[in-house]
Each structure stands twice: as structure tokens, then as C-alpha cells.
């Protein structure tokens, strides 16, 4: 029989609390030993958590976080509905850990066609919880304490903390802008690597380079020549290439997306990462994948089976059907992979014009659904904070969302701490938005411009 704690037990507990400095009541417990693992040191800040919250609190128009505010294509939504309500109730249960068989089969066929090689669905493809988990698996599987990983700045911000969590050291190399000629708008192609500087970052400690083409945030699509430069260095220094290609279909003006895995000597050392979130405008589904040689993927499977183990079956089934359709329509006018970039290119051009008209000089992106704009001319609008360590673009983005209701992301968030002030006069906008959203953003900017020019 349970006895209620009588006065003597309570007295004993209170005594313990006052003498030992802690209470047995868990709500008041404080531990004296450090709870945070050392590998989390310095990586607790996250730009998305901060700016998503600000956008939710103040923004009327959100061009900040990168997701479409339009729906995925009907054929994909219908495939999901069929996966959920069809006769095969096994879509509600676990499927194969490394990828639902219909999805890995069609991905092997699709990427096999793109790369011109036979791919084994069971060993050359793995499905992940979005591209995020694909990246996490790569760093955990390949990076040891003391290994260096080259990251090209500006970069999708999670690369740096993921390398550090794995015990590695990120080594940064910048894309540097060249001023465009004849008063033209700058293009993302004007941001380039210095070949000598890139070569100087490779050493025997270099385990991998992270390549992101098309690049978030600039929208740069690396040319074949630039990729060959990276490939040669990878081969020379026996380095892996973690190739984040989530925006592979979002390429404009007839530019070609070249897969580094297709270059001489690269298949064997490259893992290629994709995302249904970007490919089919369904970021909330969190279906991603990795394609590569079995000698690399076998280690990714080890991380996957000991972490998430499995991704949502119904979403994988729907994405498989989406790829089946796209394989049949490959290169044709009805293909979503042809139509989506066409629609996005118009949205890009519209936002380029709107920003240019108000003096926020846009860098015209060759790919992705992001656009970076120069905000130097708006310095006088933003209250100065003397001796602030916070970059101007971050203060600008916070001020803009609070005072103008327009959300964007500061470019400094895509640089490491030491370099965050290098190009801190830019913000990133996402243009994967309905016409009404883009128009609302343009109205805000024009009103702002009028207020600026009226005495």
C-alpha cells in the first residue's frame, strides 16, 4: 500500500533542498553538471528561427523564407490523396528503410538517364527526410575529428554547424563579385571563385567540398568551366564532393545545369542531393534523396538506419508517381520541370524590375527562386546603432519587417561569423510567390520610395 508523504518526509526533502542546493521536486531541479554536449557549442543560433518568428509577428508580405505560397501541381496532390485513401493500406505503414521501392526505382531510372549510367535503385539511391537529412547523413558519415570541409561563401547556412557537429573544421572560400560593365544590372554569374584561392584551401586534411549549384542565396549556376576547376582539385587531392542540387530544375535564360558527378573522375567521389520540396513545390512533405556510388552510400545508410531509419511512406509513394509522370514527359512542354522554371523566370523578372525601380539594386539570379538585392541606398532610413556588432543587413531586415511589413533575409546570415560583415549590404528575397504577393511587395516598396523622395 502507498503511504502519503507525512510531515517527516516533507521535512527531510526540504532539508535536502536547503543543504544540497537542489530540490527533489523536478520542476525546481537544477543540475550542476553541464548538460550541453560540447559539439553544440557555438551553433545554437539559427537565422531561420529568428526571422521566421519576426515574419510571423510583423510581416504582411513574406518574401523571406524559401517556400512557394502557391500549391504543388495537381497531379502530385492527387497522387498523395490516392496514396492515403487508396486500397493499399500499407502506405500507412513502414516501408523499406532506405527508400520506398517505387521511389528509389524511379529515381534510379531518372538520374540514370540524366547521368548516362545504370543505377541500382537499392544501392545507388537513398531517400531522406528532405535534403536537410541528406546533408546531415553526409557530414556524419564522412567527416572525422580534424577533417576539413571546404564551403563556398555565401552558403546555405546549415552546412557550417553540420560540419562542426561531426567534429570537422569548415574552411571557407568566397565567391567575389565583379562589377558589371556599362551600368548593367549585376548577374549571379558575376560572383566567381578565384582559382588560386580555391586551390590554396585544399590540403591533405580536406575530406570534402560542399558544392551548391544552383546556389542559395545568390542563384548562381556554376558553369561547366567552374565545375571542372572544382572537379580537378577534388581528383588531385582525393576529396569527396557533397553536391547539393536541390534547385536543379530552377534554371533560367536557357542556362544549363551541369551535374558535377557527370564530369571526368567525379562519379566515384560525389554524392548528389535532391529535394521533392524544391522539385515539386512541396517543401512541407520533406522528401529528399541522395544519388551516388555504393561505396559512399553504404556509409550514409549506416547513419540513416541509426537516426531516422525511415521517411513517410505516403509522401514517398506520391513523389514516386510524380517522377513517373515526369519521366514520361521528359523535356516536353507539359513537363512540370519545364513549366515551373518558365513561370518562375517571369516572377524573377517582375521582382527584378520592382526592386530596380525603387533603388534596391537586384543581382539577377541565373537559378533558384531567390534574388539578392543591394540595400546600400537605404542606409539613411535605418536608425544607426553605434558600435553594434550586428551587420547592417540584419538590422535592415529587422527594421523593414517591423516598419514596412516586408520580410527578407540578410545576406550576412549566409556567411560564417568571421566574414559576416564582408557583404552585409544585401538582403535575399524569395520570388516563388503568387502574383498578388509579389504585387503587394512591390506596393510596399513603391510607397516607401515615394515617402523617401517627398521632403
User: Residue with the closest Cβ to ligand PMP?
Assistant: 130
- Is residue 430 within the footprint of ligand PMP (CB under 6 A)? no
- Is residue 279 within the footprint of ligand PMP (CB under 6 A)? no
Q: Which is nearer to ligand PMP, 95 or 283 (CB)?
A: 283
- Is residue 316 within the footprint of ligand PMP (CB under 6 A)? no
Site map 119..138 versus ligand PMP, x via CB under 6 A: -----------xxx------
User: Interaction with ligand PMP in 218-257: which residues (CB under 6 A)?
Assistant: 244, 246
Site map 74..113 versus ligand PMP, x via CB under 6 A: ----------------------------------------
Helix 435-453 vs helix 336-358: crossing angle, to nearest 10? 10
CB of 111 to ligand PMP, least distance (A): 16
Q: Which is nearer to ligand PMP, 66 or 410 (CB)?
A: 66
Picking from 374, 372, 393, 392, the residue whose alpha carbon sits closest to that of residue 384 is 392
Binding residue (CB under 6 A) for ligand PMP from 216, 324, 354, 437: 216
User: Interaction with ligand PMP in 133-162: which residues (CB under 6 A)?
Assistant: 156
> Within 10 A of 112 (CB to CB), how many other CB atoms are there?
17
Integer Cα distance of 193 and 191 in angstroms: 7
- Is residue 277 within the footprint of ligand PMP (CB under 6 A)? yes
CB of 387 to ligand PMP, least distance (A): 33
Integer Cα distance of 111 and 118 in angstroms: 9
User: Interaction with ligand PMP in 328-367: which residues (CB under 6 A)?
Assistant: none
User: Cβ(415)–Cβ(153) under 8 Å?
Assistant: yes
Instruction: State the residue for C-alpha cell 586534411.
Output: 205
Give me the residues paired with residue 152 across strands: 173
CB of 221 to ligand PMP, least distance (A): 13
Beta strands in 292-387 (DSSP E): 361-363, 370-374
Integer Cα distance of 60 and 80 in angstroms: 31
Q: Is 173 helix (H, G, I), strand (E, B) or coil?
A: strand
Q: Which is nearer to ligand PMP, 218 or 373 (CB)?
A: 218
Maximum Cα–Cα distance for the chain, whole Å? 89
- Is residue 275 within the footprint of ligand PMP (CB under 6 A)? yes
Q: Which is nearer to ligand PMP, 127 or 189 (CB)?
A: 127
User: Interaction with ligand PMP in 280-309: which residues (CB under 6 A)?
Assistant: 283, 288
> Within 10 A of 118 (CB to CB), how many other CB atoms are there?
9
Integer Cα distance of 359 and 113 in angstroms: 44
Sign of CA dihedral 231, 237, 239, 244: negative
Q: Which is nearer to ligand PMP, 132 or 323 (CB)?
A: 132
CA 262 vs CA 224, 231, 234, 327: distances in Å: 11, 10, 14, 19
Integer Cα distance of 174 and 190 in angstroms: 13
CB of 156 to ligand PMP, least distance (A): 4
User: Interaction with ligand PMP in 49-78: which residues (CB under 6 A)?
Assistant: 66
CB of 413 to ligand PMP, least distance (A): 12
Picking from 324, 336, 296, the residue whose alpha carbon sits closest to that of residue 100 is 324
**Where do contacts with ligand PMP occur on this chain (CB under 6 A)?**
66, 130-132, 156, 212, 216, 244, 246, 275, 277, 283, 288
Amino acid at each position: 500500500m502507498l503511504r502519503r508523504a507525512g510531515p517527516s518526509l516533507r521535512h527531510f526533502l526540504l532539508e535536502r533542498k536547503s543543504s544540497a542546493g537542489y530540490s527533489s521536486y523536478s520542476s525546481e531541479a537544477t543540475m550542476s553538471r553541464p548538460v550541453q554536449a560540447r559539439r553544440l557549442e557555438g551553433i545554437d543560433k539559427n537565422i531561420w528561427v529568428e526571422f521566421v518568428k519576426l515574419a510571423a509577428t510583423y510581416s504582411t508580405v513574406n518574401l523571406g523564407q524559401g517556400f512557394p505560397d502557391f500549391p504543388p501541381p495537381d497531379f502530385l496532390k492527387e497522387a498523395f490523396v490516392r496514396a492515403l485513401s487508396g486500397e493499399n493500406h500499407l502506405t500507412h505503414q513502414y516501408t523499406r528503410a532506405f527508400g520506398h521501392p517505387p521511389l528509389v526505382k524511379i529515381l534510379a531510372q531518372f538520374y540514370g538517364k540524366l547521368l548516362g549510367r545504370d543505377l541500382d535503385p537499392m544501392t545507388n539511391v537513398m531517400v531522406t527526410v528532405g535534403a536537410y537529412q541528406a546533408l546531415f547523413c553526409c557530414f556524419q558519415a564522412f567527416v572525422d575529428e580534424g577533417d576539413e570541409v571546404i564551403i563556398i561563401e555565401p552558403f546555405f547556412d546549415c552546412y557550417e554547424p553540420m560540419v562542426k557537429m561531426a567534429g570537422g573544421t569548415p574552411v571557407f572560400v568566397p565567391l567575389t563579385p565583379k562589377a558589371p560593365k556599362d551600368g548593367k544590372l549585376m548577374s549571379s554569374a558575376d560572383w566567381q571563385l578565384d582559382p588560386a584561392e580555391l586551390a590554396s584551401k585544399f590540403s591533405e586534411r580536406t575530406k570534402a567540398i560542399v558544392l551548391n549549384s544552383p546556389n542559395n542565396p545568390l542563384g548562381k549556376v556554376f558553369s561547366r568551366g567552374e565545375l571542372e576547376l572544382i572537379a580537378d582539385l577534388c581528383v588531385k587531392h582525393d576529396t569527396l564532393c557533397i553536391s547539393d542540387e536541390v534547385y536543379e530544375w530552377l534554371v533560367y535564360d536557357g542556362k544549363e545545369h551541369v551535374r558535377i558527378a557527370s564530369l571526368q573522375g567525379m562519379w566515384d567521389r560525389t554524392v548528389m542531393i535532391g529535394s521533392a520540396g524544391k522539385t515539386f513545390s512541396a517543401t512541407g512533405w520533406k522528401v529528399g534523396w541522395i544519388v551516388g556510388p555504393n561505396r559512399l552510400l553504404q556509409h550514409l545508410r549506416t547513419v540513416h538506419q541509426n537516426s531516422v531509419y525511415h521517411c513517410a511512406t505516403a509522401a514517398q509513394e506520391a513523389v514516386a508517381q510524380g517522377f513517373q509522370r515526369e519521366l514520361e514527359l521528359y523535356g516536353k512542354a507539359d513537363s512540370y520541370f519545364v513549366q515551373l522554371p518558365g513561370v518562375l523566370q517571369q516572377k524573377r523578372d517582375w521582382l527584378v524590375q520592382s526592386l530596380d525601380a525603387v533603388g534596391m539594386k537586384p543581382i539577377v539570379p541565373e537559378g533558384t527562386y531567390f534574388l539578392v538585392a543591394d540595400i546600400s541606398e537605404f542606409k539613411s532610413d535605418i536608425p544607426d546603432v553605434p558600435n553594434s556588432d550586428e551587420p547592417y543587413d540584419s538590422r535592415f531586415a529587422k527594421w523593414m519587417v517591423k516598419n514596412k511589413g516586408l520580410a527578407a533575409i540578410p545576406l550576412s546570415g549566409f556567411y560564417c561569423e568571421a566574414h559576416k560583415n564582408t557583404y552585409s549590404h544585401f538582403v535575399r528575397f524569395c520570388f516563388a510567390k503568387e502574383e498578388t504577393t509579389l504585387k503587394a511587395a512591390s506596393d510596399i516598396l513603391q510607397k516607401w520610395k515615394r515617402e523617401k523622395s517627398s521632403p
